[in-house]
Amino acid sequence: MDATTPGRRPSKEDDRLQAGCYARQSHGKQVSIEDQIREAHETCGREGWVPLDYGDTVSASRFGTRERGGWSELVVDVTAGKLDIVVLWDSSRGDRTPSTWAFFLERCRKHAVRIHVIRDQRSYDLAIPRDWKILHDSGTDAAYESEIKSVDVLRGVAGAALAGKAHGRAAHGYTRRYDPDDRKIFTEVPNDDAVVVREIIERIAREDPLIAIMRDLHARGITAPGGGPWRRNMIKKLVHPRYIGKRSHNGVLHDANWPPLVDEVTFYRAQSVLSAPGRRQAAPGATKHLLSYIVLAQGCEQGGRLAMQGRADRARRYKCDADSCLSIGADELEAFVTELVMHRLARPDARQVFARGDEAARVAEVEVARLDLQLREARVSFADPDGGISADALAMKERHTMPLLEAARQRQAEASHSGALLALVGDGEFTVEVGRPRWKRLSVAARRSVIKTLFAKIEVGRPTRRLTRWSTGDERMEEAVRRTAIEWA
């Protein structure tokens, strides 16, 4: 008979005692529940009872999160008067939550249902105070053991975190290698997927659109973890501290014992891209046009910005989004701004753009180093066998310092030059001829990042002349140049 489903109810004419045989699987071993049911049936056979089977494969602890259907049905049948006796291999197989175990005992006493414990080799009559006390105390003891085990587990998890050991399954991009003599000892090493993980994080740091990354991975036949297609949330989840060799536990980062896949600057830059204030949730990549909402409409009483307007089958134009007070050809404006970018980066004083960010990044870097040193010293003191700070003091130090450290790392990433700008400039001397093909390789989101880094303001004014369908490209470009005013950052 299947131990996880109730047996068939005997007819009312059967005057033998109806015995509810409850079994619970322990530590994921199927043999455990089968043995319990077999011994319960042997007991019922000796006593002349009719066995009815109930079973569960989940924890009886109060820390368990899954419902135990077999136990719930047993309690219902006891309350309904369908059982005369409950057979347990051990009282700890019942319920390890004191309040619900006491409720079960009360149900049994009210309906005159005895409890037979195979391990004790006796039946308990709950109408007898001493029998009730024995079972009540055994339930309390079982709950105490469960609490102690939980504390030990949590202490083990916290200790593993402090030691930088992995928890749970190996992350995407890593393979777990076990010690041949002791499977409790293992390390995680990068596998073939590590290259893909590194590429994704680096591309996010360069502000490549998520949709472009997804499409590229699909076109190359690279599947997501689990073998399915990539989704935005899957890609975002890869920007995780584990990939810079950090173990996260209760919001605190610890140095891990596995190698990082990307450097911290790239990681925090990618994190900054995904969490930038004012960025739409679909970003990066939601904006399709180079200058939408970047360029101001000069003289607009409502403070409008230019956005792409019109149908796809007509010439592309940017128009004021507030009141349509002015518009300009998109191709000409984008070409002019692109040329300004190329020539600005080719100028001898272009390094000043980097110098301002470098100084802010250095200040943030010093702050990161200072706070990180404080945490390391506190953890060394905690681990000192000759006496150091207590666990509570270490926890308090981490709760105070970690938010400051994360904020400093965020400032460091934001002060660092955008990944797109670094990719555009590259190593060595920058020239307009070198920059143009690099610019074309950047995504629209990355180009927009460069423009917002270099320009304090871009404005387009009213037309200075009337253009017609017969106007040449040069005439349109000259008009765009005359109408556009800029301020460098």
d(CA 489, CA 294): 14
Name the pLDDT band for 154 (thresholds 50, 70, 90).
very low
Both tokens of residue 142? 């079982």
Average pLDDT score over residue span 198-218: 88
Name the pLDDT band for 418 (thresholds 50, 70, 90).
low
Q: Packing angle between helix 194-205 and helix 210-219, nearest 10 degrees?
A: 150
Return the beta strands (E) in 420-463 as ranges.
455-460
Whether the Cβ atoms of residue 213 and residue 270 lie closer than 8 Å to each other: no
Non-local CB neighbours of 419 within 8 Å, separated by 6+ positions? 202, 205, 206, 207, 266, 269, 270, 273, 446
Q: Does residue 367 carry a pLDDT above 90? A: no
Angstrom CA distances, 399 to 375, 393, 408, stand at: 10, 10, 15
Q: Does residue 283 carry a pLDDT above 60? A: no
Q: Are strands 85-88 and 18-24 parallel, antiparallel or unpaired?
A: parallel
The neighbouring-strand residues paired with 56 are 24
Specify the 3-state DSSP secondary structure of 307.
Answer: strand
Query: Quick one: pLDDT at residue 478?
Result: 94
| CATH class held by domain 18-150 | alpha beta
Model confidence over 71-125: pLDDT tens digits?
888 989 999 989 999 999 887 777 767 878 888 899 999 999 999 999 888 999 9
Q: Does residue 433 carry a pLDDT above 80? A: yes
CA dihedral 213, 214, 217, 221 (to 10 degrees): -170
d(CA 172, CA 120): 49
Return the beta strands (E) in 50-204 as ranges.
50-56, 85-88, 114-117, 122-124, 174-178, 186-190
DSSP string, 174-241: EEEEE-SS-TT-EEEEE-TTHHHHHHHHHHHHTT--HHHHHHHHHHTTPPPTTSS---HHHHHHTS-G
Burial per residue of 207-241, b for 16 or more beta-carbon CB atoms within 10 angstroms, e otherwise: bbbbeebbeebeeeeeebeeeeebeeebbbebbbb
Name the pLDDT band for 219 (thresholds 50, 70, 90).
very high
CATH 2.40.50.140 applies to domain 174-275? no
Q: Are strands 50-56 and 85-88 parallel, antiparallel or unpaired?
A: unpaired
Amino acid code (one letter) for 357: G
Model confidence over 374-395: pLDDT tens digits?
877 777 777 766 667 777 777 7
d(CA 186, CA 435): 47
Non-local CB neighbours of 426 within 8 Å, separated by 6+ positions? 434, 438
Q: Are strands 455-460 and 50-56 parallel, antiparallel or unpaired?
A: unpaired
Model confidence over 419-429: pLDDT tens digits?
667 667 776 67
Which range has the worst mean pLDDT, 38-47, 136-145, 192-201, 349-358? 349-358
Angstrom CA distances, 221 to 196, 212, 217, 218, 224, stand at: 12, 14, 6, 5, 10
Specify the 3-state DSSP secondary structure of 488.
Answer: strand
Bond prior to 284 in cis (omega within 30° of 0): yes
d(CA 447, CA 340): 13
Burial per residue of 177-200, b for 16 or more beta-carbon CB atoms within 10 angstroms, e otherwise: eeeeeeeeeeebebeebbebbbbb
Question: How many CB atoms are located within 10 Å of the residue 451 CB?
Answer: 21
Q: Does residue 174 carry a pLDDT above 50? A: yes
Where are the domains positioned within the chain? 18-150, 174-275, 296-349+422-488, 358-409
Amino acid code (one letter) for 153: V
d(CA 262, CA 163): 21
Query: Quick one: pLDDT at residue 262?
Result: 92
Q: pTM of whole model > 0.75?
A: no
Name the pLDDT band for 357 (thresholds 50, 70, 90).
low
Query: Quick one: pLDDT at residue 59?
Result: 44
Query: Quick one: pLDDT at residue 158?
Result: 44
The neighbouring-strand residues paired with 253 are 248
- What rounded mean pLDDT belongs to the chain? 79
